[in-house]
Structure 1
Amino acid sequence: MQLPPLPPLGTDINALIPIAGMATGVLITAMLFLGPVGRAIGDVIRHWLGGGRRQPQALPGELDELRERLDRMQHQLSELAERQDFAERMLARVRNDRGLPSGPDVAG
């Protein structure tokens, strides 16, 4: 009994074509889901499921809270600027009174 001949070694082009087609399909699908089209589809799904809705009274309250926080931060920043100016004036006065040597000119 004689065995059939062994297939030739190497890559069969007929096997590569479907693999390349599947890889191309995976890339196109990934670009679709991860790109702007996928985000738009996700937004539509969230809207349909009710996840995109917000309570109308919640947004103005959050906005007021953010404005208050911003006002507090601006106030703190102005206080820090005043303290820095005061410290610079005091250092300049001490330098002039005691005759301390001036440092390198940082401003250029």
Structure 2
Amino acid sequence: MASSYASESGQSRTNAPRLCYYGEKSPVKTSMTSGNMGRRFYGCARYGVDVTCGYFEWVDPPMCQRGRKVLPKMVAKMNRLEKELARSRRREKMFCKALFGT
């Protein structure tokens, strides 16, 4: 994430576009950290491209304790199943080529 600080009192309840401190439209991004998995936030428009201005504002309220505990496990399981599915598809393709020569 671009920053490790946030202000809960500055949470957005409207759909009005947010501008970072550079005056550019702030994109909505999704946190992938274990403590805020899936929580959306506004960040600096230049994050990852240029020097960031440090703008940061949460879109979503904090997740409940149970959600913080369960969601990372669910994401890990989903990732594991997606990898397993990709492996199965590759094996199926290989078997089809062996059987049918296509």
TM-score between both structures, scaled by the size of structure 2: 0.36
Higher relative contact order (CA 8 A, sep 6+): 2
TM-score between both structures, scaled by the size of structure 1: 0.34
Name whichever structure is richer in strand by fraction.
2
Name whichever structure is richer in helix by fraction.
1
